[in-house]
Structure 1
Amino acid sequence: MNYSAVTLLLLGIFVLREANGLQKRCLRCRSRGELGSCGDPFPFNVTEPEAEMGIHVVACPSGWCGKLIEGTTGAFRTDDYGAATQRMCLQRPPNDYEERCAYTMWNHKKVYMCFCNGDLCNSAIKITAFPLSLFIATLVTIFNLL
């Protein structure tokens, strides 16, 4: 394997990972109890959320998504009528840049909130482009060796 093939492989992986980082998106929706489709478990394929009314994929410049559950105390249950679930793009990341779930204050109410960094990370399934970039890099390397 020559140095140009290795360089091209590394450059391809870097470009694909950076392009993926520039296109971070979050789900935006809100529902209460069994009304709506925003609660857990999230019942839709995140690559086709527009098929359901009220669920939107939005560009997220900060790259940080959130999921907020409000309206109950103690353990949250999906069948709790009072619990509202909201998924959103955060305007800015948490001060410590840590992904986590915890109780916090939001608009003067105690809520359970999760913070995550990544494309569509506030859905039930996290999607990453790394396997695709690895596959493309492998193909490039194989064709360069032929």
Structure 2
Amino acid sequence: MNAISLSMWCVIGFLLLEGVNCLNKRCIRCRSRGELGSCGDPFPTNVTEPDTQIGIHVVACPSGWCGKLIEGTTGAFKTDDYGAATQRMCLQRSPSDDQERCAYTLWNHKKVYMCFCNGDLCNSAVKVNAFQYTSMATIFIVIYNIYFGRI
């Protein structure tokens, strides 16, 4: 097998891998108030080991949209740590404009700060798109194998 065909199979394999990852969407589900729980920011849990923390669950999310809601940061509870609650969840449907964002919104007749994201475990912490890095590495490997490789 020559370098060009091996490189092309690598590219096809990575594209298929991304397609499979799109089918399996999960979200973190938890709720905590102030410093007492482990659901707040910074999120202390490794998402590959969610069972190490009580109250943090990885749940299947058919819509693919996860959310993070912070309540108690405005109004009467603004200066009270007990009033600030963080909740992470799976959303039943996508936002009306299908855009990932964070903004103040009304949730159960309360003004809350809410973030919407689309992707596997995207509401666990800062979202890093591993597919972009994998794609870049694949492109560099293909170019290297075409010009310098001897397989």
The answer (yes or no) to whether the contact 2:32–2:85 under 8 Å persists in 1 is yes
Q: Deviations over 1:15-72 (max 9, x none)?
A: 1000111111110000011221101111121221210000011111111110001123
Alpha-carbon distance in structure 2 between the residues aligned to 1:121 and 1:78: 29
Aligned residue-pair number: 143
Q: Which amino acid aligns with 2:96?
A: N
Alpha-carbon distance in structure 1 between the residues aligned to 2:135 and 2:45: 25
Q: Per-residue deviation at 1:126?
A: 2.5
Single out whichever of 77-86 and 18-27 deviates more from structure 2. 77-86
Q: Per-residue deviation at 1:9?
A: 2.9
CA RMSD of aligned residues (A): 2.9
SS at match of 2:81: coil
Who wins on radius of gyration, i.e. which is larger? 2
Alpha-carbon distance in structure 2 between the residues aligned to 1:134 and 1:79: 46
Q: Per-residue deviation at 1:115?
A: 0.4
Residue segments in structure 2 that go unaligned for 5+ positions in a row: none
Asked if 1:72 corresponds to 2:73, the answer is yes
Q: Per-residue deviation at 1:134?
A: 6.6
CA, structure 1 residues 48+85, in 2 after alignment: closer, same or farther (shift >3 Å)?
Answer: same
Alpha-carbon distance in structure 2 between the residues aligned to 1:59 and 1:145: 44
SS at match of 1:46: coil
The answer (yes or no) to whether the contact 1:33–1:78 under 8 Å persists in 2 is no
Asked if 1:62 corresponds to 2:58, the answer is no
Q: Which amino acid aligns with 1:28?
A: R
Structure 2 match to 1:109: 110
Residue segments in structure 1 that go unaligned for 5+ positions in a row: none
Asked if 1:91 corresponds to 2:118, the answer is no
Single out whichever of 103-112 and 130-139 deviates more from structure 2. 130-139
Structure 1 match to 2:9: 8
Same amino acid, percent of matched pairs:
68
Structure 1 match to 2:121: 120
TM-score (norm 2): 0.79
Q: Deviations over 1:68-120 (max 9, x none)?
A: 0112317x989722011000011111111111110001111111100011111
Alpha-carbon distance in structure 1 between the residues aligned to 2:113 and 2:52: 27
TM-score (norm 1): 0.81
